[in-house]
Copies of this chain bind each other. A is one copy, B any other.
Amino acid sequence: MKEGPDIAQIGALIGDPARANMLTVLMGGRALTATELAGAAGITLSTASSHLAKLEAGGLVSQRKQGRHRYFALADDEVGLMLEGLMGFAAHRGFLRARPGPKDPALRKARVCYNHLAGDFGVRMLDRLVADGHVSVDGDDAALTAEGEAKMAGIGIDVTGLRSQRRPVCRTCLDWSERRSHLAGSLGEALLSRFIETGWARRSEDSRAIHFTPKGERQFLDLFPLPERR
């Protein structure tokens, strides 16, 4: 009867509260076990297992066996981008959960979006990269310039290594709190990893927040100075 893609299946997958909770938690970027996800969603293990099987069949999550654990994660960047887009829409329409708790300001400042940096810091980083001619943006695509490649080398990121993967190096991702774009793709992931490796920042245990140390924040802002207010 209909033309075009079928959005009902995806909507139905996301539409169950238990599954939506799991996906939201997985947006934190960590791979989690079925037991952890069950706890996060407030359901028993057997129910969680059933939900995870559906999410996997739908291609939204993937599992990796490791010993007697099974770690679940979002299937790929695309899923993360799609979910962040939905969250942006939901946030803008007032579909908010319970209360914007005390963690909220921290989330808006810096948080992980599946595997890369989002929030105010993420948006400003991309702003700066674009303003300095290190990244060029075209629609939702983005590309690293030669100057940008040099800058990344200075930070300690091997761009040629990233290029050899099949994933796109640069992508933009719409930020639900800022409603502007930040940097995703393998470069976005590498940058966040680097910040954590060097001890500038650490992931929160129980939320998507990224906490910068005072020193780390200074060095981050040194690398990516704030643009003048527009």
Contact = CB atoms under 8 A, between A and B. Distances in A.
Interface of A: 1-17, 19-21, 23-24, 27, 40, 42, 59, 78-79, 82-83, 85-93, 95-98, 101, 103-104, 107, 126, 130, 137-141, 172, 174, 176, 180-181, 207-208
A11 B13 contact: yes
Nearest to A16: B8
Given A85-B85, A95-B9, A4 B139 contact: no
B208 A3 contact: yes
A115 B13 CA distance: 28
B95 A3 contact: no
Given A138-B137, A180-B139, A8 B3 contact: no
Given A2-B97, A5-B97, 17 more contacts: A2-B24, A2-B98, A4-B176, A6-B90, A6-B95, A9-B15, A10-B11, A10-B93, A11-B20, A11-B86, A59-B93, A78-B89, A82-B86, A126-B139, A139-B181, A140-B140, A141-B180
Contacts of A82: 85-86, 89
Given A10-B90, A11-B12, A78-B92, A3 B174 contact: no
A109 B85 CA distance: 25
A227 to B, nearest CB: 12
B14 A11 contact: yes
A87 B7 contact: yes
A136 B91 CA distance: 27
Contact of A7 (B24, B59, B141): B24
A145 B12 CA distance: 42
A93 B59 CA distance: 8
Contacts of A14: 7-8, 10-11, 15
B17 A90 contact: no
Given A138-B137, A139-B126, A180-B139, A89 B3 contact: no
